[in-house]
Structure formats: C-alpha cells, structure tokens
C-alpha cells in the first residue's frame, strides 16, 4: 500500500527531505546543498536524487509513495504547480515543478510557498495542534506568515495572503525591495533587528558585542544580540525591546483583523523566545482590542528547522485528502 509521503524543503542553501510513513515522524531524513547557482534543471535533478536516495535507503519503491509535497520560497501558483519567481534562485522563472516531477514519478506532487508549508507543519504537528484560527510568523532574513482561518489555509486571490512583512508601519521608513518603505519586515526580521542595532552603534552607543566582533560590524547577528541580552547589555536589551514592541504593533493589527486564537513565532529569530515575546505581548496587550487579545496566545514554534519537511509532507497529505487547504 502506498502510505509513504516525501516532504521536500527547498532552501537557497540546502534541500532537506524527509520520508514519512503515514502521519508519523520521518523514517528517513537527508539534506544536500541546493547548488542553486547551477540553474533550475540542476536543482530539480538534485531534488529527484535526494527523493530516490530516501526510497532506496528505506528499501521502498515509487509505488509505495502516496505523494510528494514541496515547500518553495517565493511566488508560486500551488494549483498549477508552477514556481513563478524565487529571489535566491538564479534563472528561476515560471518553472513547471509539478509537470517536470511528473515526467519521472507516477505519484502526485504538490507545491506551496515555504512559509505556508512551515505553518502547515506547526498546525498539524507542532505548536498549532488543534487550533482553527492561527498564524505562523517566520522571522529570518525577511518576515513571512501563513494563516489558518476557520480551519482553512488562507491563500487570497493571487496566493499572496499573509504578507505581514510588508505591512506599512511608517510613512517614511527603511526602503523595501517590494518598492515601498517602512515595511514591518524591514525592522522585526533578524536582519531588521541587526540593522536597528547597527544604527544605534552609528550614533555613538556602545555594546559588549563590539568586543566580540573586533570592529567588523558585518559580523553582528540576531543570535549575538540575544547573547548580549542575556549578559544584560544595555543596548541589546533596548533593541530587543524595541523590536518586540514594533512586532507587537503589527500583531495588534493582525489580531484586530483576524481574531486568531494562536500566533506562532518561528524562523531564525524565533529562538530569541521570551527575550522577544515578553515585549511583543506587552505591546499587544497595550494596543490590540481587549476581547480578541485575551483569547490569543503568542508562542514559540516547536518544530524548529524540521518544520519545512514536516510541513511539506503535511501539505501533501492535506491535498490528498481533497482540499486545496
């Protein structure tokens, strides 16, 4: 019986893959460098290579696979199975992923946006289990989100729903590659927080982090700010607080608009945990409407870097069950 599912997490640096039996933990996992610079055909060959490798290791054949799910960064059309554009993949334009995989495999292949896929993993197997109204925010180089509303994944007219990172917070703020400026993601992503930190150093503020990086400010990371926060570094505490406060303003709008019961914070900066979330909650409590705020929990993601393969497999399972969601 075909009851295995392959979940693929396509990242700019690595392709991660998991072989799942039913809805349980992955029975096999692998990761290989993406080698995105070699172009789309090369990347697709590597995806097939890792999928074939998983099946071989587990001693199963493609007839044992019920479906493959894939999380892909950037713009895509999940119904047509086309990856329209992905910023970190050179030459990546209108790639018919599902059709190309179908030339090699008889089992169905489903694709979706990577953040939405991560959200599906957390929804079914992580911090979001049992919730019908939730959001996952990923705070990494950018800020993305996936939304479940009334038990359904929200896509929107052009599959773009959930672009909280481009919520406009300032009339004149940091420029954003979306063409606007003052977007939330330019401040509260990991990169955004590091930029806030550097701006304050430029005004003459000092920090313990300067002794760690020997003058090379390019080396400053969000993780360093967390570590300096733990060392009670005044500037790190201030930047973490300001970042959390601004994220709280953004989430207040989200809470007022969607009335979710749960907001899950993941991505690289999710590991800042309570250092960040304390300020986020204080800000939300001060600014969002009282009734929806009382019923909304803000928590850390549970699956970590494995949410991509979990989510890709979950996405395939959901699509197999018949709904786009």
* 176 touches Zn ion (CB under 5 A): yes
* 178 touches Zn ion (CB under 5 A): yes
Give whichever of 166 and 281 is closer to Zn ion, judged by the CB atom: 166
Phi-psi group of 28: left, alpha or beta (phi > 0 → left; psi -120 to 50 → alpha; rest → beta):
beta
- Candidates 135, 183, 225, 251; binder of Zn ion (CB under 5 A) is 183
* 166 touches Zn ion (CB under 5 A): yes
Beta carbon of residue 144, minimum distance to Zn ion (angstroms, whole number): 12
Tell me if residue 61 falls in helix, strand or coil. Answer: coil
Helix axes 274-287, 234-258, angle to 10 degrees: 50
Beta carbon of residue 268, minimum distance to Zn ion (angstroms, whole number): 19
Q: Which has the closest alpha carbon to 273: 240, 306, 251?
A: 240
* 37 touches Zn ion (CB under 5 A): no
* 319 touches Zn ion (CB under 5 A): no
Q: Tell me the DSSP string of 132-171.
A: SSEEEEEESSSEEEEEEETTEE---TTS-TT-GGG-B--S
* 167 touches Zn ion (CB under 5 A): no
Contacts 24+ apart (CB under 8 A), 215-223: 220/194, 221/190, 221/194, 222/190, 222/191, 222/193, 222/194, 222/268, 222/269, 222/272, 223/268, 223/271
Biggest CA–CA distance in the chain, Å, is 66
Give whichever of 14 and 141 is closer to Zn ion, judged by the CB atom: 141
* 169 touches Zn ion (CB under 5 A): no
| Binding range to Zn ion, per CB under 5 A, among 10-18, 134-142, 159-167, 255-263 | 159-167
| Binding range to Zn ion, per CB under 5 A, among 3-11, 181-189, 215-223, 252-260 | 181-189
Give whichever of 133 and 189 is closer to Zn ion, judged by the CB atom: 189
Beta carbon of residue 196, minimum distance to Zn ion (angstroms, whole number): 16
Give the number of residues in contact with Zn ion, rule: CB under 5 A.
5
Residues in contact with Zn ion by CB under 5 A are 166, 176, 178, 180, 183
């Amino acid at each position: 019986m075909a009851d295995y599912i392959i979940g693929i997490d396509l990242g700019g640096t690595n392709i991660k893959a998991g072989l799942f039996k039913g809805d349980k933990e992955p029975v096999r996992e692998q990761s290989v460098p993406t080698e995105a610079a070699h172009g789309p055909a090369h990347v697709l060959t590597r995806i097939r290579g890792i999928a074939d490798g998983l099946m071989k290791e587990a001693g199963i054949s493609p007839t044992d696979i019920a479906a493959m799910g894939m999380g892909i960064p950037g713009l895509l059309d999940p119904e047509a199975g086309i990856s329209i554009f992905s910023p970190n993949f050179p030459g990546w334009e209108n790639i018919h992923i599902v059709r190309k995989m179908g030339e090699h495999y008889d089992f169905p292949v489903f694709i979706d946006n990577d953040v939405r896929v991560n959200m599906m993993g957390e929804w079914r197997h992580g911090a979001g289990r049992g919730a019908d109204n939730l959001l996952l925010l990923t705070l990494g180089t950018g800020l993305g989100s996936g939304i479940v509303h009334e038990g359904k994944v929200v896509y929107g007219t052009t599959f773009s729903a959930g672009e909280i990172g481009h919520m406009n917070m300032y009339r004149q703020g940091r420029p954003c590659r979306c063409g606007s400026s003052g977007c939330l993601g330019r401040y509260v992503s990991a990169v955004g927080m590091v930029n806030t930190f550097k701006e304050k150093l430029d005004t003459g503020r000092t920090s313990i982090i300067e002794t760690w990086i020997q003058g090379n400010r390019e080396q400053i990371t969000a993780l360093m700010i967390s570590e300096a926060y733990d060392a009670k570094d005044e500037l790190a505490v201030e930047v973490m607080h300001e970042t959390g406060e601004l994220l709280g303003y953004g989430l207040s709008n989200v809470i007022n608009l969607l009335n979710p019961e749960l907001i899950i914070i993941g991505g690289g900066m999710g590991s800042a945990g309570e250092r960040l979330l304390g300020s986020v909650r204080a800000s939300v409590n001060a600014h969002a409407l009282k009734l929806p705020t009382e019923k909304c929990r803000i928590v850390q993601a549970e699956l970590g870097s494995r949410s991509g393969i979990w989510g890709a497999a979950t996405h395939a399972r959901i699509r197999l069950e018949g709904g786009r969601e």
